[in-house]
Amino acid sequence: MERNLFQEIKVGIFVVFFVALIGLSAFILGGSSDMFEPTYKLHTWYRDVKGLKVGAIVRVAGVDVGEVTKVEFENRSSSEVPVADEDRERTAIHVELTIQKQYQERIRLGSAATISTVGLLGDMYIALSSGDIKNAPLDEGATIKSAEAIDFLDYADKATGIVESAGN
């Protein structure tokens, strides 16, 4: 009886260890090995996020520095959203970015967040400009200015309209 219990405990420990090893491997192979790095949050607002999803990559100069952790309609009135008056009309959707702390020095006052795509019809990501080196880095919870992305499909639709109207 004792031998049976001891054998069951050994098998149980082996199974738990094996499951933990598989989980860790999935995180490392999935690119989440930086999940234990210290992070901080930045916020931005857009009128249209063009299909941006939670989990999308955030890049500075082509380097992955974080991810999008929230994409939600803003519940506050536009007068309460912390952006410049000229940007009030484009503040319908709040986007929260989680950035690795080691890159904080590269994201400064004057930086801008632009929604971009990998290729013409690829995945969406946020591209952050570095801002002026003379400015201070953005702190935890700061708002980064949003910049409207060039939408190739919008331009294609406009070009089609122009060609059709020219043909009439």
pLDDT at 90: 47
- pLDDT averaged per 10 residues, the chain (length 168): 78 90 75 70 88 88 90 67 51 86 88 83 84 85 81 67 72
Instruction: Give the 3-state DSSP-derived string for 81-102, with helices as H, strands as E and coil as C.
Output: CCCCHHHHHHCCEEEEEEEEHH
Residue entry with tokens 């607002």: 45
Coil, strand or helix at 38:
coil
pLDDT at 150: 63
Phi, psi values for residue 34, rounded to 5°: -90, 15
Beta strands in the chain (DSSP E): 39-46, 57-60, 63-73, 93-100, 112-117, 124-128, 142-143, 145-147
- The angle formed by the CA atoms of residues 96, 99 and 102, to the nearest 5 degrees, is 165
Alpha carbon distance 137, 70 (integer Å): 22
